[in-house]
């Protein structure tokens, strides 16, 4: 009986997290101008702001190879994910703040293009997201739910995988400092 009660509590916490969260104030596309003057490989990424890119894991791997020598932060998200909505402004702001040194990429997981585009209209990104409608990219990271964030080091290796929502921008900033080097 105790085991069932614990499972019910855990399930209710997960459901609360998935439907919770009013997002922090979002950045605007005018803020993206702060990325002007980024080194060429990063500038190429930021010229694709807000795009949903085809190609799945192969396309993401190709982009990561082009960015080798620079740290990369990859955020897995979906428009239907409450915790993703909650933390999205943190990624917007950190990308604007750090985008001249660190590459940021998104992975739109198990979503449809219409909803993802509407979401990006409300929460624009200075970087592109790769479509992952069948969760093949997410599966390659072995994530157990969304959101999730992968940190790549300069050698192109995953240094850390954060699973779950960032409760504060300061928490995200600490992980970027620690793992995106």
181/101 Cα distance (integer angstroms): 9
- pLDDT tens-digit map of 83-111: 999 999 999 999 999 999 999 999 999 99
Whether this prediction's pTM lies above 0.75 is answered by: yes
Question: Token pair for residue 79?
Answer: 């428009």
- Give CA 175 to chain center in angstroms: 13
Do 24 and 84 contact (CB within 8 A), yes or no?
no
Tell me the Cα Rg of the chain: 16
The predicted-structure confidence for 126-152, as pLDDT tens digits, reads as follows: 999 999 999 999 999 999 999 999 999
Cβ atoms of 147 and 62 closer than 8 Å: no
């Amino acid at each position: 009986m105790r085991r069932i009660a614990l499972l019910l509590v855990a399930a209710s916490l997960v459901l609360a997290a998935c439907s919770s969260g009013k997002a922090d104030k979002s950045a605007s596309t005018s803020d993206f101008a702060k990325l002007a003057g980024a080194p060429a490989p990063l500038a190429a990424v930021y010229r694709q702001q807000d795009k949903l890119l085809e190609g799945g894991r192969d396309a993401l791997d190709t982009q990561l190879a082009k960015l080798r020598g620079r740290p990369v932060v990859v955020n897995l998200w979906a428009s239907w994910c409450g915790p993703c909505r909650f933390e999205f402004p943190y990624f917007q702001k950190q990308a604007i703040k750090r985008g001249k040194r660190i590459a940021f990429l998104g992975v739109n997981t198990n979503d449809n293009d219409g909803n993802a585009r509407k979401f990006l209209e409300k929460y624009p990104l200075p970087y592109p997201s790769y479509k992952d409608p069948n969760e093949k990219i997410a599966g390659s990271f072995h994530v157990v739910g969304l959101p999730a964030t992968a940190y790549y080091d300069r050698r192109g290796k995953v240094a850390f995988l954060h699973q779950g929502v960032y409760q504060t921008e300061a928490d995200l900033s600490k992980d970027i400092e620690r793992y995106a080097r």
